[in-house]
Structure 1
Amino acid sequence: MRLALLIALTMAAFAANSLLNRAAVDAGLTDPLGYALIRVASGAAMLWLLLALRGRGLSVQPVPVAGAISLTAYMLGFSLAYLTLGAGLGALILFGVIQITMFAVAVTTGAALGAQRLAGAVTAFSGLAFLLWPGGRISVDPAGAALMTVAGIGWAFYTLQGRGTADPLAASARNFLWCLPLVALAAVLARPDWPAPGGVVLAMVGGAVTSGLGYVLWYGVLPRIETTTAAVVQLSVPVIAVVAGALILGEALSLQLLIAGAAVLGGIALALTAPAAPADRSQTRD
């Protein structure tokens, strides 16, 4: 039960990231790269503060090259995509790509999927395909979808990096530290506009709380679940974002979105109730 609550809290934080980013960028309170820079800086500051309160410093060696690059790809692609995508739609594309990437890695590394977990993944992904299929009532901007695809691939590999993490807080702080100069360089080259106070506040909340603390929770959960389960459970985030986007941001809530959301939730239920595959049992911890 405690693990399920931690997972639910983490997924809510991930959905909040979409809402905060979309709210700030769509309202013109900040440009995407300015938002990303404040978000990463706030996340790094929060994680370093927590390390200091814990009475531990942070060794910056070795440099987490894979973690920093994958986190940077996610941060930049995510922020830029919300110039043209709604919060719910963007989250649907993001976590659909994450699922595909993580399942592809699981298959190529020889992970045993199991028939029920595979059926759950197919059901959930079918819901996303139904939503995004060309010719539907919802129009998807190609550039925004491409940017969110980059973000999804980056987040998938960032997640995979966290499976062997012994100290989630230190690992997250180190990743944010080395991601910061990369995002800062991109922001400086793009010469972002000076953000409004409201945009700064939204970005700081998105960085310090829903990203910094949310990612620590996620890195703490990952070693206790299978890779394929981690992929499928994240598909709950688009459903949360779609509903919250309609209630908070006034985004359209269509029958197509509701059907897709039901399929996603049904697929997650199938995957989460599947028995652990023998090859995966040794990789999980209670």
Structure 2
Amino acid sequence: MTTITPIGRRERRFPGWVFQAMVCLVAFAANSIFCRQALMQDQIDPASFTAIRLLSGAVFLLCLIRSRQPRPAMGGSWRAGLALFLYAYLFSIAYVRLGAGVGALILFGAVQVTMFACAWKQGEPVQKKALIGMSLAFCGLLVLLLPGADTPPMGSALLMAVSGMAWGAYSLLGKGCANPLADTAGNFARTLAMLCVLGPIMLLGSHPRLSVPGVLYALASGILASGCGYALWYGTVKKISAQHAATLQLGVPILASLGGVWLLDEPMSIRLLTVSIVVLGGIALSLRARIA
């Protein structure tokens, strides 16, 4: 029996990159939870957390590539490696004194501004639905995170903003990658050279602290949330515009907050539930402009 498609109706398929992007956002949210648990409970210092995170991510990715290719070709670039290093290190330092919600707002607000500004500068057309969706999602985050929050320390806030700019730059550099796994592995490997050079400076004025839970959180952050998540993100970001990539990431603070309710026994509020719907609705509106 032959099925006749009505004239003028266009069949739409749910694009595979949407599911891939959702997995990336879950990985990013997991990173926030791992970091929050390790650093805010003083189970590890920021420099050690960053070093273990980058080292474990690099080793995991290199072993994964080697298992698939006896003589793997290293990808990535020094610019992307530097952006990754700055993001990871400043992120860890800033989260010591920032609340999780305020820190997430500053981080992904800076990511969004960076990626939209670069897209506009490079002549990428701004779609109306994407702009409205981005604005709706961002306003939702402001409603959730700003009222009632203490004024964040200026130094930590600036560090988190620079971290967000570095992650935005790292995401933009991934738009031209040919092999996401090899490029991510190469970027992580380059951060190890930066750790060797800057490691002594990172330890100045700090008091190294290591505990079993802190090391495990850093390993989970490096291998699962960073190594796997960032390789998958590089495979996703090259398929979508910078606008959509920036708007998508506004869902991470919501996922992190909901993850805190589920995993860390943090209280669920009506405001969190309502704003989550608003933010996710804004993201859906932005994505609709991409899918349509």
TM-score if structure 2 supplies the norm length?
A: 0.86
Determine which of 19, 26, 49 is the counterpart of 1:12.
Answer: 26
Q: 1:234-249 maps to which residues of 2 (within 5 A)? A: 234-249=249-264
RMSD: 2.1
**Aligned match of 1:92:** 105
CA deviation string 1:85-120 (max 9, x = no partner): 233442232112111111111111111111111111
Map 1:121-200 onto structure 2 (within 5 A): 121-133=134-146, 136-142=147-153, 143-191=155-203, 192-200=207-215
Distance 1:184 1:89 in 2: 32
Matched, 1:271 2:286: yes
Aligned to 1:27: 41
Q: Give the alignment of 1:26-65 within 5 angstroms.
A: 26-59=40-73, 64-65=77-78
- Given that residues 18 and 90 in structure 1 are in contact (C-alpha distance below 8 angstroms), is that contact kept between their aligned partners in structure 2? no
Q: 1:104-119 alignment to 2 at 5 Å?
A: 104-119=117-132
Q: How many residues align?
A: 274
Superposition deviation, residue 252 in structure 1: 5.4
Structure 1 residue corresponding to 2:92, chosen from 68, 74, 79: 79
State the distance in 2 between where 1:117 and 1:100 align. Answer: 14
Q: Do the aligned partners of 1:76 and 1:183 also contact (CA within 8 Å) in 2?
A: no
Between the two proteins, what is the percent identity of the paired residues? 38
**1:141 and 1:56, CA in 2 relative to 1: closer, same or farther beyond 3 A?**
farther
C-alpha contact (below 8 Å) 2:115/2:246 kept by paired residues: yes
Distance 1:229 1:102 in 2: 9
What amino acid is aligned across from residue 137 of structure 1 in structure 2?
G
Query: Cα 1:257–1:182, aligned 2, differ >3 Å: closer, same or farther?
Result: farther
**Deviations, residues 182-206 of structure 1 (Å, cap 9, x unaligned):** 2354443243514111111110111
* Aligned-residue offset at 1:255: 5.0
TM-score with structure 1 setting the length: 0.88
1:53-107 C-alpha deviation (Å, 9 max, x unpaired) = 011434558x722101111110011111210223344223211211111111111
One-letter amino acid of the counterpart of residue 25, structure 2: M
Q: Which residue of the other structure, out of 193, 197, 210, is the alignment partner of 2:225?
A: 210
Partner deviation per Cα, 1:181-237 (whole Å, 9 max, x = no partner): 323544432435141111111101110111001111011111211211111111111
Q: CA deviation at 1:274?
A: 1.2
Q: 1:87 touches 1:245 (CA, 8 Å); kept in 2?
A: no
One-letter amino acid of the structure 1 residue matched with residue 245 of structure 2: A
What whole-Å deviation, never above 9, does each CA across 1:31-56 have from its counterpart, x for those lacking one? 01110000000000001001110114
Q: 1:193 to 1:88 in 2, by over 3 A?
A: same
Change (3 A) 1:76 1:144: same
Structure 1 residue ranges, 4+ long, deviating more than 6 angstroms after superposition: none
Give the distance between the partners of 1:23 and 1:259, measured in 2 at CA: 26
Give the distance between the partners of 2:100 and 2:71, measured in 1 at CA: 37
Distance 1:76 1:201, change over 3 A: same
Identify the residue that residue 280 of structure 1 maps to in structure 2: none
**Within-5 A mapping of 1:210-229:** 210-229=225-244
Q: If you compute each CA radius of gyration, which structure gives the higher value, 1 or 2?
A: 2
